[in-house]
Structure 1
Amino acid sequence: MAQKLWPPYWHYPRATEKPLPHGRAAAVPRRAFFRAALINFAILQLVFLSLFAYIFGSLYQQAGHTHNMKILFVDYDSDSNRESAIGSAVSAAYQELEGSTFPTIVKASTNEFPVPGNLETAVCGATYWAAIYTSPGASSRLQNALAVGGAVAESYNRSDVLTYIWNEARYSTTSDSAISANLQLLSNTARLAYTTAYVRSGLQTLNLTDEAAILVFSNPWQLTSVDIQTTTQGSRAVYNTLVIILILIQEFFYLGIINGLYAQFKIYARIPAHRIIIVRNINSLAYTLLGALCVAGMVWAFRAGWHVNGNQFALTWAILWLFAHANFLVLDIITIWVPPQFVPVCLINWIIFNVTSILLPFDLSPAFYRWAYAMPAHEVYQVLVDIWSGGCNPQLHYALPILFAWELIGLAFSTLGVYRRCHYAVIAEEAQDRAFNERLNVAMAFEKKRDEERRKELEVEMREKAGSESLTFESQQERDDRIQREEKEQEDVREDLTNVIRNENEQLQRERTRKASRVDFGPSFDLAYRSNAS
């Protein structure tokens, strides 16, 4: 038994029957093969090198662009003449931390933002990434707790001193590191600056005999977070990466199935173009509708306590549907107008450009990457953030028009593409019919020539046997009858030969399909460069 299983090529004996050609006869095809392989090797390496450079370039020196993120600061504890003690500590801390790797603090007066609610409106409107403020009377309460101690120090509220407002749903992982973590650092540095200034003042007002006062001095405040939409679930990490990638791939694979079915059943040559357009759009709308429902359902199924409601689910479903269908149409346009050998390259470029547009906020990427405002993935993510945070990312004025523009452009060129496919499908069918008729005419000409030769041979035999006029007349009559019979037989032969050739063609196609299904060669695309040698 072991001998039959090894070596493995014993299972495929025909593979070794015909040896590979050697010598000068095989030299030219071999050179052409390696030349084509080398050129395609280089093309693919350059394409993916460019894509890697593009995506890594968008992330390059991310921390160095943090200063582009603006944070609003209002000192509600100050009076009209000067900053409060806590406000001064925050300003001193910012002077120490200010740099390219720290967000820019924009100071504003209480006249511009009279109450903290105005700060939340500014953050909700995406004017600022966050806002930080000191509570009214915070410095006096702190001074009183340090000086009096006792019950006053024990009742002192550390959380009602310094507060920041932010929206975690807006690029949650980035906001955690660039906004929340840096504001915590600012608070800690300000606390140190405050205690240092207090020590320099000689600790004159500190009740050194009271333990509660000393505890307040060691920890004068705790930074309070007001998160517009808390987004801490683990699945948030893939909302702007894998979710978008899978939607794009999902549309591409279904588009491949649709195109394969249309080609297999010769739909383009058998059904009017306007009917194909209607059915194709209904089909794609239904597929993307169900696909968007599945994506939204998974987001909700794994939201892990995320505070979102049914209305937000419906809006998420709707915008994902629009995004999925727009991409289906764009990919359809690619498969229509781009040569087949370049379709995979266009697909991977489309995916990378879309995903890169939402990996980071544009504030953290080089300015060049802002061209990706035109990418549908960037727009759909802006709309999703707006939905999830209850309208606190008002980018709809440009996001929705861009998405609908992609949809309309896709519908227009996809519709034109159906006419293009129908046009060339009819041409291909006509060419196939002509080729079939040519083969049939050749076969019939051969049969006719053979019949003529047989007729001449029979005439010679009849003449040799003829002995009289009556016999000659009789032979002539028989010959006419025989010619009529042969013509009828020729028509029958033509019809039979037609059926035979058709059946043979169908059998060949079935045989090729059956053999191709047996052997899995994997995905196969035309080469970007093809040698003239065959």
Structure 2
Amino acid sequence: MVSIGLKGLRHLDQKPTLSKANRNSFTNEYWKGVRVKFIIQAAAGGISFMLLFLACSCYLYGSLYKSHQRYHNFRILAVDYDGGVIGKALSAAYEELKRPEFPTLYFHSPEDFPTPSDVYQIVRNGHYWGAIYSTKGASDRLEAGIQGGQAATVYNPNDALYWVWNQQYYTTFAQSVVEASIEQLVSAARAAYTKINGTQAFPYVAQSDPDAVQAFLNPIAATVANVEVDAQDSVFLFTSISMVMPVLQQFFFLLALNGVSREHQLYSKMSVRSSMIIRGVAGLLYTFGAALTQAGYYWAFRDGWKVDGNQFVLTWMVLWLLMHTHFTYLDAISAITPISRMPFAVLTWIFLNISTTISPLELQPGFYYWGICLPASNAYSVLVTIWSGGGDNRLYRALPIMFAWWIVGNLLSMAAHLRACHLAYKFDKEQQNNKGDGESAMGMTPVGSEVTIRPHSTNESAAHDDLQQDKTLEEQDLEQRQIYGPSIPPPFA
């Protein structure tokens, strides 16, 4: 190891290891045949990674490009239980606000949803992003309230309209689009009522009664019912960083696992069944632990989030299934993909998965809808159902897709492992044969056999020819890495 003190910094060029006398500048003739190759290879590597990040980032940014123009894909249910002027004001307000940047209201009759609990349930089940409805007799109560008396005293504008939403599902977009739009709709309904009925109602206002005047000035407001409150400040991380971590954790663990397997020659020395079981158990145990830690920091920073122990265990299990799926696919990819292509495969897999969770599919261009088949999208869907206490239930779709990925991933991982064991054994035998041939070329013969003495120059020539055919250490190391996959040296080696 080179030890350099502060005083020695001025004399670095005098050290033999750093001296110009023992080295050649890049412009020296020594590098004549390498200069162009070095520049081309370095440029090719840099450009390829730039293009990789450009493609992945464009794909991710494209999923959100002009998403505000697709707010109309958010479905909001509207039911008029009132059948009076307040219901008409709600409809008129929507007509004023209707545009691509505003969620679409789907008006249904009370016959389709006989009770407000039916409206709540349909939103809870995830068929609509939200719902708004006028209450039965709302217009009659307002008419009585503006005339004064006891009706004015008890009149509550918040009873005119009710709206429902689920804050837990894509919280950031639920708040910025659904909540904001419905609040805007309520304000517009208040203005629409004044425009529709204000002139006709004014003569009937009991102007000597403050409660009646207040009812006339503030006729319509709303009461909100939130399916599941999400009070976490870190909730936006659930659909972004938290969906990247499962992939990264498996990739780095695979580097360590491949390094240990390579160090101890598991693929060439151990039986295929044993090595497959050992790697399988290692993957299961690690993903169980990694999923537990991720669920753990969800809970450690849950703030006012109301979740219980059962939801914690279910969250843990979903994260385990997601992580083990990633593990099996990365394991298969690392076994068959050249090492130089691994960054392309891993980074692409990360970006494809995160693009399906970073925003709702309703806000993405139609091309991105295929992402609903990816494991991360379905894992987040299951997690929302767990955290909502059964709300936004897409288990009929999400769980089969996740288990399909898991089963296929395990099959691919086993097939890749068989291939790696086959290649490792061939490589080991080839090394042994090359070593034996090298010993023979150097004039070594088994004990008891007849020794033939060859001229010194002949021995050197034969050894030289064999060494030319033999693989260099670097080539052997590269071939081992191709068999075992990308790896890092094992700890405590």
User: Which bin holds the TM-score, normalised by the shorter protein?
Assistant: 0.7 to 0.9
Structure-2 residue corresponding to 1:499: none
Distance 1:183 1:250 in 2: 40
- The AA in structure 1 aligned to 2:130 is A
Aligned 1:359-508 pairs, distance under 5 A: 359-445=358-444
TM-score (norm 2): 0.87
Aligned 1:199-210 pairs, distance under 5 A: 199-201=198-200, 203-210=202-209
Secondary structure of residue in 1 paired with 2:430: helix
Contact 1:292 1:324 (8 Å CA) reproduced: yes
TM-score (norm 1): 0.80
Contact 1:4 1:10 (8 Å CA) reproduced: no
1:189–1:294 CA distance, 2 compared to 1 (3 A):
same
Contact 1:71 1:130 (8 Å CA) reproduced: yes
- 2:9 pairs with 1:5: yes
Aligned 1:95-244 pairs, distance under 5 A: 95-148=95-148, 150-201=149-200, 203-244=202-243
1:325–1:145 CA distance, 2 compared to 1 (3 A):
same
Structure-2 residue corresponding to 1:31: 36
Distance 1:202 1:327 in 2: 65
Distance 1:298 1:12 in 2: 52
Measured after TM superposition, the shift of residue 379 of structure 1 is: 0.6
Structure-1 residue corresponding to 2:86: 86
Structure-2 residue corresponding to 1:504: none
Structure-2 residue corresponding to 1:77: 82
Q: Which has the higher helix share?
A: 1
Which of 40, 53, 72 is equivalent to 1:67? 72
1:275–1:450 CA distance, 2 compared to 1 (3 A):
closer
Secondary structure of residue in 2 paired with 1:394: coil
Structure-1 residue corresponding to 2:279: 280
Q: Which runs of structure 1 show a deviation greater than 4 angstroms over 4 or more consecutive aligned residues?
A: 7-12, 21-25, 445-454
1:216–1:9 CA distance, 2 compared to 1 (3 A):
farther
Structure with the greater alpha carbon radius of gyration: 1
Which of 46, 50, 58 is equivalent to 1:45? 50
Distance 2:201 2:309 in 1: 59
Measured after TM superposition, the shift of residue 452 of structure 1 is: 7.4
Contact 2:332 2:417 (8 Å CA) reproduced: no
Distance 1:191 1:11 in 2: 84
- 2:23 pairs with 1:19: yes
Distance 2:349 2:153 in 1: 60
Structure 1, unaligned runs of 5 or more: 79-83, 455-507, 513-522, 525-534
Greater Cα shift, 392-401 or 178-187: 392-401
Distance 1:350 1:403 in 2: 16
Secondary structure of residue in 2 paired with 1:230: coil
Contact 2:189 2:220 (8 Å CA) reproduced: no
Measured after TM superposition, the shift of residue 34 of structure 1 is: 0.9
Contact 2:141 2:151 (8 Å CA) reproduced: no
Measured after TM superposition, the shift of residue 406 of structure 1 is: 1.0
Q: Deviations over 1:47-78 (max 9, x none)?
A: 11111211111001111001011111111111
Q: Deviations over 1:295-353 (max 9, x none)?
A: 11211221112122222111111111111101100111110111111111110110010
Contact 1:262 1:268 (8 Å CA) reproduced: yes
Structure-2 residue corresponding to 1:335: 334
Q: Deviations over 1:469-504 (max 9, x none)?
A: xxxxxxxxxxxxxxxxxxxxxxxxxxxxxxxxxxxx
1:285–1:446 CA distance, 2 compared to 1 (3 A):
closer
Measured after TM superposition, the shift of residue 9 of structure 1 is: 4.9
Structure-2 residue corresponding to 1:505: none
Measured after TM superposition, the shift of residue 450 of structure 1 is: 9.7
Distance 1:7 1:131 in 2: 76
Structure-2 residue corresponding to 1:481: none
Secondary structure of residue in 2 paired with 1:343: helix
Distance 2:7 2:125 in 1: 76
Measured after TM superposition, the shift of residue 127 of structure 1 is: 1.4
Distance 2:455 2:302 in 1: 86
Secondary structure of residue in 2 paired with 1:147: coil
Contact 1:251 1:324 (8 Å CA) reproduced: yes
